[in-house]
Structure 1
Amino acid sequence: MNDMSETHDAPVGRSAAYTILHTGYTLSTGPGVAATVSYVSDAGRHVIVDPGMVPGRDRILRPLAELGLGPDDITDVVLSHHHPDNILNVGLFARARVHDHKAIYEADQWTDRDAEGYELSPSLRLIRTPGHSPEDITLLAGTTASGVVAFAGDLWWRPDGPAEDPVAPDRDTLRESRLRVLAAADLIVPGHGGPFAADDRAPR
């Protein structure tokens, strides 16, 4: 992790905790896709990241219940981008504030705000990381156990990348965002796979 980038991007706090509710997968750009769905908590915030496609909604709700939480306990949902495979189950969390790259949505209220630098808590910060799509954002969570964890959506589909994202509109922009996340994070949670270290082995 780069100290200068950490100062700029990483959250100040280190009190968050996280659980992977469902580890996703992708067999191709077509059939056989499931999202990695995560739960993050800090300072009274209960956050779901990318409640997308899964084999059944129980794959999200059952592990959440094992944490003692139901859908109405979730205060915030973060959508890394607007592709259906990452957002399909957002409606499970009807009481939550929903965050994307440009606004916060709650019930019938829409509040414009830029995601860049927006803090849900001292340990939870959003940054813009376009590349896989123009609206990509990453949630940076300063955790007690794992350092800074980046919930990066499809900047990486899985730990092996892919190195060349076949749907990225701009390869250079994707690389810049990947490097920004790698500089700030210790661990990366991709959109469709398990966590991996933000080290020299990560695709750029």
Structure 2
Amino acid sequence: MTNATTDAMTDATADAPLGRSAVFTILTTGYTGSTGPGVAATVSYVHDGDRHVIVDPGMVASRDRILGPLAELGLGPDDITDVVLSHHHPDNTMNVGLFGRARVHDHKAIYENDQWTDRDAEGHELTPSLRLIRTPGHSREDITLLAGTTEGTIAFVGDLWWRPNGPVDDPVSPDRVTLRTSRLRVLAAADVIVPGHGGPFKADETAPV
């Protein structure tokens, strides 16, 4: 392991939220075999205090794949206070309009109704248990939501990993070195990773980097 890699992983240990009160549910588990037809996003719900957060409300076979599981939790679209977009690819953003009352967070701003508030996502906290960090690599604007729970830190990474097996070499990544650096940062901060198009997996030495 190089000094640069060690430094990146050491710095990332400070990324995990101090709070541990968040809870999460995977509303729908996504899938993709390539960048071509047949793709669905993994859409997640995170709750902490008065925040009801949807992560990456992207492409799905039917909106019921999002709204149905949410209704089972006793929630409707208007109950969602925040939406986090890991990046701006349509397969991860397609259904953001379902949540018309929510604040929308991306890498550079918060959007609410007709208000656009510039802010850097790096280190921005929605609550003490919910923190955003910049994790470019799949695209230049990638961010990760780190959620502190009683079971550890959950990282909602968008397409930093598409699914548990990678791909190791992301075919749309503009910068493979940056991708690996961001992956190492997340691995140092998290216990579980929720990828953009697959189920959760452990943030350990088995994760592809």
Normalised TM-score (structure 2): 0.95
SS of the residue corresponding to residue 193 of structure 2 reads strand
Q: Within the alignment, does 1:71 sit opposite 2:77 as a pair?
A: yes
Kindly, what percent of the aligned residue pairs are identical?
81
Q: Within the alignment, does 1:179 sit opposite 2:184 as a pair?
A: yes
- Report the Cα distance in structure 1 between the residues aligned to 2:81 and 2:179, rounded to whole angstroms: 30
- 1:41 maps to which residue? 47
Aligned pairs for 1:142-157 (under 5 A) are 142-144=148-150, 146-157=151-162
- Report the Cα distance in structure 2 between the residues aligned to 1:5 and 1:179, rounded to whole angstroms: 8
- 2:172 maps to which residue? 167
Deviations for 1:148-182, whole angstroms, at most 9, x for unmatched residues?
A: 00000000000000010000000000000000000
Normalised TM-score (structure 1): 0.97
Q: Within the alignment, does 1:111 sit opposite 2:117 as a pair?
A: yes
- 1:5 maps to which residue? 12
Gaps of 5+ in 2: 1-8
- Report the Cα distance in structure 2 between the residues aligned to 1:4 and 1:89, rounded to whole angstroms: 35
- Report the Cα distance in structure 1 between the residues aligned to 2:205 and 2:169, rounded to whole angstroms: 17
Q: Closer, same or farther in 2 for the Cα pair 1:137/1:4, shift >3 Å?
A: closer
Question: Match for 1:85 among 75, 86, 91?
Answer: 91
- Give the letter for the 1:159 counterpart: P
- Report the Cα distance in structure 1 between the residues aligned to 2:51 and 2:103, rounded to whole angstroms: 11
CA positional deviation for 1:5 = 2.9
Corresponding pairs, count: 201
- Report the Cα distance in structure 1 between the residues aligned to 2:66 and 2:12, rounded to whole angstroms: 33
- 1:140 maps to which residue? 146
Q: Within the alignment, does 1:199 sit opposite 2:171 as a pair?
A: no
- Report the Cα distance in structure 2 between the residues aligned to 1:4 and 1:84, rounded to whole angstroms: 32
- Give the letter for the 2:39 counterpart: V
- 1:27 maps to which residue? 33
- Report the Cα distance in structure 2 between the residues aligned to 1:28 and 1:15, rounded to whole angstroms: 36
CA positional deviation for 1:4 = 5.8
- Report the Cα distance in structure 2 between the residues aligned to 1:131 and 1:40, rounded to whole angstroms: 24
CA-based RMSD: 0.9
- Report the Cα distance in structure 2 between the residues aligned to 1:109 and 1:119, rounded to whole angstroms: 19
Moved over 4 A (4+): none
